[in-house]
Amino acid sequence: VDALKPYPNLRELIIYQYEGSQLPRWITSPLNQLTHIRLYFCKGLTSLPPLGKLPLLETLSIDNLYELEYVGREFLGIATTTTSSCSSGTNNIIDGGFPKLKKLSFWKCPKWNKWEDITTAQEEEEEEKYSIMPCLTELIIRSCEGLTELPQRLLEKVSLSSLKELDIFFSTQLKQVYGDKEGQPWKSISRHNPQLRLRY
* Whole-number pLDDT of residue 5: 73
**Selection from 125, 126, 183 nearest residue 152 by Cα:** 183
Three-state SS at 60: strand
- Ranges of the chain whose pLDDT falls below 70: 1-4, 79-96, 120-130, 161
* Whole-number pLDDT of residue 158: 85
State the residue range of the domain holding 192: 12-77+94-119+130-198
* Whole-number pLDDT of residue 155: 87
* Whole-number pLDDT of residue 84: 46
Any domain includes 23: yes
Query: Exposed (0-12), middle (13-18) or buried (19+): which is 125, by Cβ within 10 Å?
Result: exposed
Any domain includes 28: yes
* Whole-number pLDDT of residue 81: 43
Name the pTM for this structure.
0.86
CATH of the domain at 182: 3.80.10.10
* Whole-number pLDDT of residue 190: 85
Its sign, for the CA torsion 196, 60, 142, 75, is negative
Domains identified in the chain, total number: 1
Dihedral of CA atoms 92, 94, 99, 105 in degrees, nearest 10, equals -170
- Give phi and psi for 189, each to the nearest 5: -100, -10
Element (DSSP H or E) covering residue 107: strand 103-107
Any domain includes 135: yes
Separation of alpha carbons 74 and 52, rounded Å: 8
Residue-wise pLDDT for 59-109, tens only, equals: 999 999 999 999 999 999 986 444 445 654 444 444 569 999 999 999 999
* Whole-number pLDDT of residue 89: 47
The neighbour count for residue 175, using CB atoms within 10 Å, is 15
Any domain includes 20: yes
Any domain includes 4: no
Any domain includes 87: no
- Give phi and psi for 155, each to the nearest 5: -70, -30
Any domain includes 69: yes
Separation of alpha carbons 54 and 117, rounded Å: 20
* Whole-number pLDDT of residue 143: 94
* Whole-number pLDDT of residue 40: 94
Cβ atoms of 8 and 14 within 8 Å: the answer is no
